Amino acid sequence: MNIQNIYCVGRNYHLHAEELGNELPTSPLVFTKPTHALTAMKQTNISIPYDQGEVHYELELVLRIGEGYKSGMTAEEAVDAITLGLDLTLRDVQEKLKAKGLPWLPSKGFKQSAGLGEWLPFPGTEEINLARFELKRNGQSAQIGYPKDMIFQLDELVTFIDTHYGLGTGDIIFTGTPAGVAQLHSGDELQAYWNEQMLGACKIM
């Protein structure tokens, strides 16, 4: 399935909002990335910019909207596949943009800033709420997330995005990152685990 719109949710985990000193949102904070940001995490080399300050990793649960989507569907009806994704972020650039009230595109939309693991069939919201995901960097645990901790859950995200921006088959939603974000360095090897299953791996160039 061709990926259409790439929606991303910011500040959807309490501890991550806190670690960056952000207030908790009262409705989903949604931004987008260009499709040119997409890259597969299949033992791939990912090139990041080094001339604009720190680049941070953010590992996130990603939802895909399936065939036959109709406005008003629940997440259970709408989502046909999930994976883990890397929302790479130029953090220093983002801080400057936030301070000036400017759009986040320069910090979130660079090429290869949206890495995607292997898609799994949607296991249902119940199973997602029992799941755990983890980012390992150079063999060490860097981030651990539990989808049940999301401030806005799957149904709320699907409904909110559909209502305000539109949602369709092939759209994907990065659902936000848990705490533990940090700067990437050249040579870092990243692995993304859904429970015990590795869905993606890449090396930072």
Return the residue of 13, 61, 87, 151 that touches Zn ion, per CB under 5 A.
87
Nearer CB in complex with Zn ion: 69/117: 117
Min dist CB 71 to Zn ion, Å, is: 25
Q: Which stretch binds Zn ion (CB under 5 A): 48-56, 84-92, 96-104, 131-139?
A: 84-92
Q: Which residue lies nearer to Zn ion by CB, 174 or 193?
A: 174
Q: How far apart are CA 115 and CA 42, in angstroms?
A: 9
Rounded Cα–Cα distance for residues 122 and 198 (Å) = 16
Q: Of 160-179, which residues contact Zn ion (CB under 5 A)?
A: 177
Residue nearest to Zn ion (CB): 87
- The candidate with the shortest Cα–Cα distance to 190, out of 112, 120, 105, is 112
Q: What is the dihedral of CA 166, 56, 132, 30, to 10 degrees?
A: -20
Residue of the chain from 16, 58, 64, 113 that contacts Zn ion (CB under 5 A):
58
Residue nearer to Zn ion on the CB measure, 13 or 122:
13
Q: With b meaning 16 or more CB within 10 Å and e meaning fewer, what string describes 39-52?
A: bebeeeebebeeee
| Rounded Cα distance, 162 and 204, in Å | 34
Residue 143 is a binding residue for Zn ion (CB under 5 A): no
Q: Which residues bind Zn ion (CB under 5 A)?
A: 58, 87, 177
